[in-house]
Structure 1
Amino acid sequence: MLHIELDVFSGRPNPHWKLTAREERELIERLKANRSGLRQVNDVESKLGYRGMVVTADRSSQERLTASGLPPSFRLREATGLQVSDVTERWLLHTPGAQSTISPEVGGVVDLTIGSPTAQQEGGGQAIAACATWSSTWADLNTFWNGARRPTNNCYNFASSLATGTFAQPGRGTGSIFTALTIANIKAAVFRDGYTSACNDDRFVSYVCIWPGTDFHFYHRIADYSGSLQRWAHKPGSTPATNVDNSGLAITNPVTCNRGPYTVDGSPYIYPRVNPRSTIN
């Protein structure tokens, strides 16, 4: 049996579904005819929104893939850029298993993303509070997050500077997870986890935004900034941490950068501890 993961979320776990035997045969035939969309699982852009589909197989399906000259697991994405083919990816998106798993909102965004790149230029930076002493450099963050910790830690782990290996969810570690995907609800949950709305000497700076009704995403301010020109980084889901936005531009302001479908602004900023409580989970 083939398992499909839609790699699309940053904070929440990605949607999964299984192919029927007939769909599995059709996918194999499609890939035998055109392998241009095959990528290694870790060959992925660190951006918000749709990043391809990860295909994994059980033992019997691995044998069928191998017999067809295909790898036992792979990422399906026509190109590691915004220009993509829409044929097989769009077909998978509209299989019955996908339709029963993926919300219309998510499916609509993915459908538009496949083959329809968008660009958004970032606005100017904005001056924000101190807390500068505790910011990390991009070099440090890149080294810490983009090795073995990468697959099992998400944007909330990254913004909290705490690698739990659990795809941390706001409020889960303190026994009361968020109950709605709204800025107010997410912020109430992170405050229970030890964040505050005010900067002081043991804090650094984070920013939260939301894909309406669908997912949350966090940014973390990094140390290479001066005056009103800020620098930020983020970690979209299980992908590598990065210091650029969906347009490939350095992030000087998370409020105005290209955030893909995460359109709900979470201003003002929020402040985790330097050593957040271990209850973040």
Structure 2
Amino acid sequence: MKLKVTIDIFSGRPNPFRIIEGSEAKKLLQQIQLNASLTDNTTQKEPEHLGYRGIIVDQLDGAATDFPDHFRITPDQLFSGDQHADADSETFESSILDDIAKFKGTGNKKDFKTMLLSEMSQFKDFNDAILRAPVLPPVVFPPANPCQCAPLPDIAWWNDAGPRQIGNNCYNYATNYRTDTFAQPGRAAGLQYTSLSGCTVAAGQRSAKMGAVADALIDTPLANNACPSTGHLVALVIAPGFDYHWYRKGKDGKWSHKPGGTKATLLDNAGHFILDPRSANRGMYTQFCTFMQVLHGHIKIK
């Protein structure tokens, strides 16, 4: 038996993961207690907020188990495709925390574990807020100057539960540029960011904003939530020391975003429509860095 176990917590960076094999993999699955059979999602849906969104498990060798080949575990649910089941994963999550040192892509292990514990404790509040979100759009006046050049509201196109959704992150979505590579600011130009300590980084380091500028995004810190005359407006925020995240403003003047490999959404972490990313509930992404302009056909990301 061979499993890939991924902590789904980042939006821009690839998530931490580890490969587990043999008896250790079997023992890990035994720590998940299913309390019901899988049924179609009606009242439940997979998490799509910023921050901790559960543990993703992929069975890499097709071993015969009682679990799907690909599933997500949250504190009280198991999700697989369009189905879910009540589950008890407290012991499972505890074992993940105990083995943080074995995960790749965490950065500083001690700091990551502290942050993860905090995010786990807030998971229910964020997820419940999204589930309670109103169906009706917010009551706002129509924009005086709609964003004519912005991307069409194509959230459903990105949310295919397949390669488009899983392989493209917040940066892909914000720039409206599909790569299926979880694109990173600056990578296409050979100048990927080297520090996520904040919006401004130490001398000799490259920030996420600097990486985006290398990809030909234009820094417009004075945009003040106003649509540019050409291209479209995006916004960069930082979870200091851990990750970055992007928002984009649509043709209708509304903001949306795509937390990592999950679904694109119009809602923030409080379940509210995003009128301005500076005042939205962004969870651990506490630093608002800047607005930037994307000129269609002029950028290249990878």
In terms of fraction of residues, the more helix-rich structure is 1
After superposition, the Cα gap between the structure-2 partners of 1:149 and 1:92, relative to the gap in structure 1 and judged at 3 Å, is same
Deviation at 1:30, TM superposition (A): 2.3
After superposition, the Cα gap between the structure-2 partners of 1:129 and 1:4, relative to the gap in structure 1 and judged at 3 Å, is farther
Once residues 145 and 293 of structure 2 are traced to their aligned partners in structure 1, the CA distance between those partners, rounded to angstroms, is 11
Deviation at 1:266, TM superposition (A): 1.1
Alignment-mate amino acid for residue 107 of structure 1: K
Aligned-residue CA RMSD (Å): 3.2
Normalised to the residue count of structure 2, the TM-score between the two structures is 0.74
After superposition, the Cα gap between the structure-2 partners of 1:174 and 1:47, relative to the gap in structure 1 and judged at 3 Å, is same
Once residues 172 and 180 of structure 2 are traced to their aligned partners in structure 1, the CA distance between those partners, rounded to angstroms, is 8
Counterparts of 1:120-269 in structure 2, within 5 Å, are 132-138=147-153, 141-147=154-160, 148-181=163-196, 182-184=198-200, 185-198=207-220, 200-225=228-253, 231-267=254-290, 269=291
After superposition, the Cα gap between the structure-2 partners of 1:89 and 1:255, relative to the gap in structure 1 and judged at 3 Å, is farther
SS in 2 for 1:134: coil
Identity %: 28
Could you give the per-residue CA deviations for residues 119-160 of structure 1, whole angstroms, max 9, x where no partner exists?
Answer: 69xxxx9xx99782212343xx21332225211111111111
Once residues 106 and 48 of structure 1 are traced to their aligned partners in structure 2, the CA distance between those partners, rounded to angstroms, is 16
Normalised to the residue count of structure 1, the TM-score between the two structures is 0.79
Gap runs ≥5 in structure 1 = 226-230
Question: Larger RCO: Structure 1 or Structure 2 (Cα < 8 Å, ≥ 6 residues apart)?
Answer: 1
In terms of fraction of residues, the more strand-rich structure is 2
SS in 1 for 2:148: helix
After superposition, the Cα gap between the structure-2 partners of 1:106 and 1:86, relative to the gap in structure 1 and judged at 3 Å, is farther
Q: Verify the 8 A CA contact 1:86 1:114 in the aligned structure 2.
A: no
Deviation at 1:112, TM superposition (A): 2.7
Gap runs ≥5 in structure 2 = 80-86, 130-139, 201-206
107-116 vs 209-218, which moves further? 107-116
Could you give the per-residue CA deviations for residues 178-215 of structure 1, whole angstroms, max 9, x where no partner exists?
Answer: 11113242112111111112465322111001111111
Q: Verify the 8 A CA contact 1:131 1:202 in the aligned structure 2.
A: no
Deviation at 1:20, TM superposition (A): 5.4
Once residues 185 and 146 of structure 2 are traced to their aligned partners in structure 1, the CA distance between those partners, rounded to angstroms, is 22
| Alignment match, 2:84 | none
Deviation at 1:4, TM superposition (A): 0.4
Once residues 287 and 36 of structure 2 are traced to their aligned partners in structure 1, the CA distance between those partners, rounded to angstroms, is 35
Q: Verify the 8 A CA contact 2:151 2:176 in the aligned structure 1.
A: no
| Alignment match, 1:56 | 58
